[in-house]
Chain A
Amino acid sequence: MKHPTAFVAAASAWALGGWLVADAAFAADNGFWARYDSGAISGLGARNIGSATMSGRVSAVSAVREKNGKVTIYVGAASGGVWKSTDNGTTFKPVFDRQPVQSIGAIAIDPNHHDTVWVGTGESWMRNSVSVGNGVYKTTDGGETWQYMGLPDSEHVAKIAIDPRDGNTVYACVPGKLWSDSPDRGLYKTSDGGRSWSLVLKGGNLSTGCSGLSLDPKNPNVLFAAMWDFRRKGWTFRSGGESPTAKSDSGLFRSADGGRTWTEITPAANSGFPEKPYGRIAVTIAPSNPEIVYAFVESPHSALFRSDDGGRTWSRRDNSQNMVWRPFYFANLIVDPVDPDRLFKPDLTLIASTDGGRTFSQVGGGAHGDFHDVWIDPADPRYVIAGDDGGLWYSHDGGNKWWKANNLPISQFYHVSVDDDDPYHVYGGLQDNSDWVGDSEYPGGITNSRWENMFGGDGFWVFADPSDKNYLYAESQGGFLGRINRHTHQIQLIQPQAGYREKLRYNWNTPIALSPHDPNALYIGAQFLFKSDDHGRTWQRISPDLTTNNPEQQKQEESGGVTVDNSYAEMHDTIYSISESPKQAGLIWVGTDDGNLQLTRDGGRHWSNVVGNIPGLPRGEWVSWVQASPFDAGTAYVAFDRHSYGDMRPYIYKTTDYGRSWSALVTPGNDKGLRGFVHVIKPDIVDPNLLFAGTEFGLWISPDDGGHWARYKGGDFPEVPVRDLVVQPRTSDLVVATHGRGIWIIDDITPLRHLTPAVLDTDVAFLPTRPVVQRIEAFGGWPEGDASFTGPNPPDGAVITYYQKSRHLFGKLNLEIYDGNGRLIDTLPGNVRRGIARVTWNMHMPPPRVPPAAAVAGNSTQGPRVVPGVYTVKLVSGDKSCEQKLDVGLDPRDPFTLADRKAQFDAAMKVSDLFGRMTDLAYRIVAVRDGAQARAAQVKDDPALQKQLNALSGNADAIRKQIVATKEGGAITGEEREREYLDDVYGAINGYEGAPTDYQLARVDAIAREMGDTADAFEKLRNGDLARVNAALKAKGLQEIAVPDKAPADDGGAPGGGGMRGRDRDAGFERE
């Protein structure tokens, strides 16, 4: 049974006031942390504030036109899951969020059963920041549920092809692991719907997998598969061999028997095909004429090739810059389903040919650029959908002009920071999408337009300048650092420059850091650490080369393999993480990408490399994050990221003695549930035991300094890469930067700071929250349609938080709110979920009792907002209860005083009282009207009395019509009576929480006088006509017409209003 049993414990704990200081160590020793899990913490919801304005990299697009003419679209995000639209892109929903990986490489829709969709995880556009997958998934119900179909060690999937004759025959083109040798790569085939796979084409070495695949739709036994020899290391990359002319196992292969046997396409056997070595190859068969085959071949003479005889012979076609640009990142060809001479090559910009590949035009138009995939509608080839580094795009003119999808919040943040504004702003930089500042809340919601671009390039670290609110710091790849005026957007570039015959090595994701001790100070790391005390006007080099300075890892000019590619992405032997201790100025930790962990305690005069003190850690591991403790100068946390060696597992360590010794918090041997390589490790800024870790597969939280961890799943937070996070000090919000799903805010983590073993073992207990303030209630924004993303605001009200050990299932669970006088003012349904549970109280009094009329009086549906002060919240279930105080304050932004606020409340309550009196009066009048009408029907034998009664009823109703508007019909009647006038002035007073104006109060008095006149008229009727009628009724022995004093309380106990519920519910209509 799940009946709550231990409310008493929490209640008595409250009475003692000591339940939060229970003996945690004792509890921990007794295993009480066993209750600490995802369910316990995920009731702290998260809100995704996007943005979809910059969106993020789309790696795969697949769509199909349905019988009803609609186009179903599936979008594969590079690291943000699968999104589906069934309304031509007006709305999308993420359909892959419950799967353990979110990087998408390929999507294939079964041509015969559109609800069957295959997804290959692990993007194949093998940039330095590419995420990883874990195999192939299938849905047979349009994405509602997914089955894992295996290939667990594939890591990346480039293409999936489904045999149109048999949906159980599927090919998966697997490039395989990027960072390490692996036999699990090549072309896989299943003939049983994915239950079993066979490797039908494998590479000649452990670094060659499948990068391109095309299946002849008319003879599906014919396939072309491109094999790719590739490898990435932290400091270099090769597409093909180690150099443009070095041996490579890349090649193009053809099968005519469903993959059983393969023939390599070679220049010797297939005239016109280029000479080896090759890098990445893209291949596609023209659907409308399978004899026509296109292949882009990366080689020392990269170009597009075309065969008109099914691959036997080839001719060289376009080799323009956009055809051959960065083949590892752009290797895809999409041929018009109808016209075999029309094809697209996604590239830096999108290029298109209409002459069979002889010439190409740039057609990217106003889209972002860095295209990866294209879908062409077979029914209307002018309709084109494309995905690039900036999201998803639609063209209705054949791919010339583009319409941006503004509803895909798949943005790939690298870092995040916040300022101390109210509301605070969120800053962050993104993959190929610059550096932005956005709102954490805004009236009407955080629309795309509430984000503003501040820089350019790929974006990384962004900080508000703590010394001058007019400026911020932002950077693009390679430490390209600027100080930017946020109003004029004027940029001053302030990157430290190299000295004589010197090269500064700035990482792709170069760290910059603010000093917690000096608002004018700024750090940036190349191989040296630089510090500026004057916003970047001057720099001091405060370290020697802190890296291993290994010349073998500094040959980036040779990087790229067949095609040189030296973009800072492989810059190595660099500083990657910087953290100055908040407890001690000049104590600075620096981590490098080549495995050094350096510490200075004197502002850079002396440095020591302490990485060797970490037991069991191999040398050379990438320091992904080092974080000085905000609580103790000798304490720091460090995370190592070994994924560039093919090791995707987590490593987190802690020191408390300035790096002399280290304890392992998370290691592969004891991962404590963490999954994926670690990007960020940070302690809370209040509770030293509360740790946050972001990995490639999500967010984990530890309540006990790394002893136990739980994955955070609140707000349906997916298993998406978490690159950075920050706690906003004033709000205690945890702001999380995901690389694939934008920014998420967990509002107020205060409850986590109090989730002790003792609390976890309590059946029900309140948890402390941040101070409750009455945020300004305001309107903003404007309808943007359904095709635009809007991030939600924090809850509008007092967020009450409690913990319950198990889900509440039986019996009432309510929250009662009492004012300072112990008066019950509101009752709310409880939140039944297990673990931390939240309920929002809107902090409003009950709405006024309002007499029924033709339509609802809109303003009066809301009660006045309570006055700031101390309230009591009581959690009640049956005869069990516990309570806590709720101290409610004004919004610091309010331009008025508490006295003003009280004046407003009193005025609103006065109007509310007037409404109540009006309701009672209307009720009395209706009693007379209806009573007279009813009796008139009883005295047909007495025409005079009947006439009297009818007149009385009519006169009563005439008075009522002075009180309320009565013209029905649903039109804008413009009819206003006392009720409507009062509603107007109530809205004016209630809508602004400062003191009401004199003229508003005068208006209330005027309406009150008018109401008095109306009441007098009724009293006159009552003492005159009614008295006479009652006397006549009495004389006839009939029941007199009684006049009730007040309208009765509504049945149902809820504010139905007016005391007329039941009398007037759909009155006036007879039934069939």
Chain B
Amino acid sequence: MHARMGLFAVLLGFALSAHAVTADELVAKNIAARGGMEKMAAIKTLRMQGQLIFGGNFKLAYTQLLKRPDKVREEASLQGLTQVQAWDGHRGWSIQPFGGRRDPVPMSADEAKALAEEADFDGALVDAKAKGNVVTYLGTEDVDGTNAYKLQVKLKDGNTLVVYLDPDAYLPIREIAQRTVNGVQQVTQTDYGDYERVDGVYFPFAVSSGPKGGTPDSRMQVSIDKAEANVPVEDAVFAFPARAATKQGSKP
């Protein structure tokens, strides 16, 4: 799941000039479109709630918590059981309760990379150099009838993102992530829409993701209903739960 991309604000009322566009210019436009660095930086935590639809049939309640600079926790609930996956800035873990176990398990380093990338609060384009990411402009490409700017981000962790920016709004409309998991490349396509402002910063409230070229049944759609910035969130929420307070089976 890649529910979040980051963040946006006012539209720029002009297109990029005719001269050759650079990656830096596009990133700057993107930051401005999201709301500008100042407003973005003012958001320290973010909670987004809505629903997650898997394969068009399974609907789960969904919550995502983000905390600067690099923490994320996602929850998806079904029949009172809540699946959790989180990244505390150093490691990832999950709880997969639907099959009868509610104890947390650590994620493999490869699996956790996607979560860690998601935890990058402002996204891979912002402060790319400082993060060790390399952003390259690859021209324009058609995204479902929209001729989008195409930015490639080679991430420090070895994975690659290709971010497609809307040519008018400079907000991401699609992202192709290439990640190596267990030595095998996985390619995920994520589409963004329904941008709404939260404390002056644009966030996508519709996120649809799945394997690139996969069938509709393989896609997950997140639809956000409510988003709150700067909600108090303890670091512990993102940390690996140390031990069971009660014996298994005692709850619910």
> Which of B's residues lie within 8 Å of A, judged by CB?
11, 49-53, 56-63, 75, 77-82, 84, 95, 97-104, 138, 141-142, 144-146, 160, 162, 166, 168-169, 171, 173, 178, 183-185, 187, 191, 193-196, 205-206, 208, 213, 215-217, 221, 223, 225-226, 236-237, 239-246, 248-252
Contact = CB atoms under 8 A, between A and B. Distances in A.
B236 A1071 contact: yes
Contacts of A852: 79-81, 252
B144 A807 contact: yes
Contact of A1066 (B82, B146, B226): B82
A795 interface: yes
B144, B171, B184, B195: residue with the most chain A Cβ atoms closer than 10 Å: B144
B100 A968 contact: yes
Contacts of A87: 184
A807 B81 contact: no
Given A145-B138, A810-B169, 16 more contacts: A38-B145, A98-B141, A792-B215, A810-B196, A830-B194, A835-B144, A840-B56, A855-B98, A862-B57, A1051-B49, A1061-B82, A1063-B80, A1066-B95, A1068-B246, A1069-B102, A1071-B240
Given A2-B169, A39-B146, A1072-B241, A1064 B81 contact: yes
Interface string A833-877: 111000010101011001111111100111000000000000000
Contact of B171 (A37, A809, A1072): A809
Given A42-B145, A854-B249, A1051-B61, A1056 B194 contact: no
A1035 interface: no
Interface stretch (A51-59, A268-276, A670-678, A969-977): A969-977
A37, A716, A1058: residue with the most chain B Cβ atoms closer than 10 Å: A1058
Contacts of A1055: 51, 59-61, 78
Given A86-B185, A1057-B78, A1070 B60 contact: no
A832 B193 contact: yes
A982 to B, nearest CB: 13
Contacts of B173: 807, 809, 832
A834 B191 CA distance: 13
Nearest to B11: A1
A1060 B80 contact: yes
Nearest to A94: B213
Interface string A681-712: 00000000000000000000000000000000
A38 B221 CA distance: 25
A1059 B241 CA distance: 24
A43 interface: yes
B100 A797 contact: no
Interface of A is mostly: loop
Contacts of B98: 855-856
B146 A807 contact: yes
A93 interface: yes
B241 A1066 contact: yes
A501 interface: no
A968 B95 CA distance: 13
A1052 interface: yes
Nearest to B245: A1070
20 contacts: A39-B142, A144-B162, A809-B169, A812-B196, A829-B53, A829-B194, A832-B206, A850-B79, A850-B80, A852-B79, A854-B100, A856-B79, A861-B78, A966-B249, A970-B99, A1056-B61, A1057-B77, A1060-B80, A1060-B252, A1067-B252
Contacts of A821: none
Given A813-B193, A842-B56, A855-B98, A39 B245 contact: no
A68 B145 contact: no
Nearest to A91: B184
A828 B52 CA distance: 11
A93 to B, nearest CB: 7
A86 B181 CA distance: 13
A1033 interface: no
Contact of A1054 (B50, B184, B243): B50
B213, B241, B252: residue with the most chain A Cβ atoms closer than 10 Å: B252
Nearest to B169: A809
Given A968-B101, A1055-B78, A1059-B80, A1068 B61 contact: no
A832 B169 CA distance: 15
A969 B236 contact: no
A862 B59 CA distance: 9
A832 B59 CA distance: 20
Which 4 residue pairs are nearest across A and B when measured between Cβ atoms? Answer: A39-B145, A852-B80, A1058-B80, A1054-B51
B245 A1069 contact: yes
B142 to A, nearest CB: 7
B194 A808 contact: yes
Contact of B61 (A796, A861, A1054): A1054
B111 to A, nearest CB: 18
Contact of A1071 (B169, B195, B226, B241): B241
B59 A1054 contact: yes
Contacts of B168: 2
B183 to A, nearest CB: 7
A145 B208 CA distance: 24
Contacts of B223: 814, 829
B245 A1068 contact: yes
Contacts of A345: none
A1069 B104 contact: yes
B61 A1052 contact: yes
Contacts of B63: 1052
B191 to A, nearest CB: 7
Contact of B145 (A98, A835, A847, A854): A835
A712 to B, nearest CB: 12
A713 B52 CA distance: 29
Nearest to B57: A842
A1050 interface: yes
A979 B19 CA distance: 66
A1053 interface: yes
Contacts of A834: 144-146
Nearest to A838: B216
A39 B252 contact: no
Nearest to B168: A2
Nearest to A1064: B252
A856 B49 CA distance: 22
B225 A1053 contact: yes
Nearest to A972: B100
B145, B208, B217: residue with the most chain A Cβ atoms closer than 10 Å: B145
Contacts of A970: 99-101
Contacts of B101: 968-970
A50 B240 CA distance: 46
A1065 interface: yes
Interface in A82-97: 86-87, 93
A225 B138 CA distance: 36
A967 interface: yes
Contact of A1070 (B144, B193, B242): B242
A1068 B250 contact: yes
A995 interface: no
A639 interface: no
Interface string A340-368: 00000000000000000000000000000
B242 A797 contact: no
A551 interface: no
A851 B146 contact: no
B84 A1066 contact: yes
A1057 B169 contact: no
Interface string A575-601: 000000000000000000000000000
A60 interface: no
Contact of A39 (B80, B82, B144, B191): B144
A926 interface: yes
A205 B236 CA distance: 79
A384 interface: no
A811 interface: yes
Contacts of A856: 78-79, 81, 98-99
A713 B141 CA distance: 13
A1057 B225 contact: no
